Amino acid sequence: MEKPLILVTNDDGITAPGLRKLIALMKQLGEVVVVAPDSPQSGMGHAITIDNTLYSKKMTIDKDNGASLEYSCSGTPADCVKLALQELLPKKPDIVVSGINHGSNASINVIYSGTMSAAIEAGIEGLPAIGFSLCDYKWDANFDGFDKEIKQIVSEALTNGLPKGTVLNVNIPKTDGKPVKGIRVCRQAKANWKEKFDKRFSPSGKEYYWLTGEFELLDKGEDTDIFALNNNYISVVPTQFDLTAHHAMQTLNNWNLNE
């Protein structure tokens, strides 16, 4: 049987250890092509490049453990997927995987995530797509201890497909190489960021700001991604990109909008 074609991307850049780990795992499942940013693009969300040029360069990062083809892209994670699907791939991929992100994309973090936006861009194009994130922001984070689970999730998506209009947001607890307890399908926890701006001054005396803040969990449910992660489970949240608040339609239809 022909091996599935797997497009791998991320938002931490083409040399990121998390991406290299994901490439190695995907090579065990199929033929891998990488299109990833040439520099870190964390927090870019679903930004795309419309006022500048895009550049792509064929690269070889790992001679012994690399993908079949690898390209760096000067744009955002969403740009990477668009460029891959329209210009760089030899054919339509069977699945798109993004990550492994250095840091959590659980709960409200999914809104800001470049990792997840790459997966969502693929989903918009009708492709099965999964974003993977590890709850450890360190560049040298330990990406061992969950190889089996990542391959299992991707294999199931390849075999069964995903519901229309849905991508998977997969978050992995920080394990430091120890096994996880398992995988849980969850809902996104309700949370927010209590943001602050640290006011600073440059050496020349010019005022500037540095964004800081604290994560505020507003949800005590035991069926959420945060609960799963806090209890050493991998969380899998089916995520949609139809942003319509369907539950609010009736309320708005009761407004006097046409008088």
Binding-site residue positions for a divalent metal cation:
11-12, 42, 101
Angle between helices 147-160 and 17-26 (to 10 degrees): 60
Which residue(s) pair with 131 in the sheet? 98, 169
Q: Burial level of 258, CB count in 10 A (0-12/13-18/19+)?
A: exposed
- Residue 16 to residue 13: CA distance in whole angstroms: 6
Do you know the residue count of the chain? Answer: 259
Binding site residues, as ranges? 11-12, 42, 101
Tokens of 127: 């492709």
Give the DSSP H or E segment for 1. none
